[in-house]
Structure 1
Amino acid sequence: METKTTDELKHEIRAATAIEDYLKSNRDNLNLRSLPEHLAFLLSRKGISKAEVVRGSLLSRAYVYQIFSGEKTPSRDRLIALAFGMGLSEDEAQSLLKVSKNRELYARDERDAVILFALQRGQSILAANELLFEHGFKTLGVPEEFV
């Protein structure tokens, strides 16, 4: 099944005569996964391991595994670090933030704009952190034991 855009879904809501019909016909397009379920889905889709996510995110192994198991609820910055660790696209990173009920990256926010720039170019978290540091912003992926 093809994923519908948010605009397409909004149009269908406007056209719907009953919310039940909309929900039933769009079940596959709604964010119904928990964060651990969504992370497992992304791992599978990307064909990567949790160990690779740990290496690419600069987060501690124990903390990443606790996030994946649902034992820990990560901050927005730690989710963004995971997005870099998983090699997510901008859209995938935005979806991850939505599923976790965090604010999406916003192009009008200077720090978010730097992060979006790095995501759009497929940069590593190290490159993103370098850009953040150069512009005077807090970096991503500080290991849990140093927080």
Structure 2
Amino acid sequence: MAELKTEILNEKLMKSENFDAFFETHGKHIRLDSFHNCLYDMISDSGLKNSDIFLAADLSESYGYQLLSGKRQPSRDKILKLAFALKLTLEKTNLLLKLGQKNSLYVKNKRDAILMFALNTKKSLIDTNALLESENCDLLL
């Protein structure tokens, strides 16, 4: 079964006039929301290899695959590192945080505001850590 990209599936849903007909045709692509399913979809949608994402997020491959299988639950910082590796939007980052049962980024928290700015300006993880350091905030380690 070929996996549909999230954007294509969303487009088909928005064009549907009958949910039952949509779900009968495309239901095999819809799962209950979970962190590992969402992460899998985001990596698939990125077009990058799992190993490249894990490397960019400074995570071991074995740990990354444990996240994808649902065997491990990551810390908030590890989710954020994955968001930077995937170059996610703030909205998608907060979705991943929510599914990982972590607090969303909050603009009134200085560290979170820096992270939000860095995501919005597409900074790398290295540049983000440099910005965090320059503002005397905890790094994404």
Q: Same fold (TM over 0.5)?
A: yes
Whether the aligned pair in 2 keeps the contact of 1:52 and 1:86 (CA below 8 Å) is no
Letter of the 1:57 partner, please give it: A
1:55 corresponds to which residue?
55
Shift of 1:60: 2.0
Shift of 1:129: 0.5
Structure 1 alignment gaps of length 5 or more: 5-27, 143-147
Shift of 1:101: 1.7
Letter of the 1:35 partner, please give it: F
1:73 corresponds to which residue?
73
2:139 corresponds to which residue?
139
Matches within 5 A, 1:1-147: 1=10, 32-140=32-140, 142=141
TM-score (norm 1): 0.72
1:139 partner SS: coil
Q: Deviations over 1:66-101 (max 9, x none)?
A: 111111110111100111111111111111111112
Instruction: Tell me how far apart the structure 1 counterparts of residues 83 and 112 of structure 2 sit (CA, whole Å).
Output: 14
- The count of aligned residue pairs is 116
Taking only aligned residues, the RMSD between alpha carbons, in angstroms, comes to: 2.0
- Identity percentage over the alignment? 32
Q: Which runs of 4+ in 1 moved over 6 A?
A: none
TM-score (norm 2): 0.75
1:15 corresponds to which residue?
none
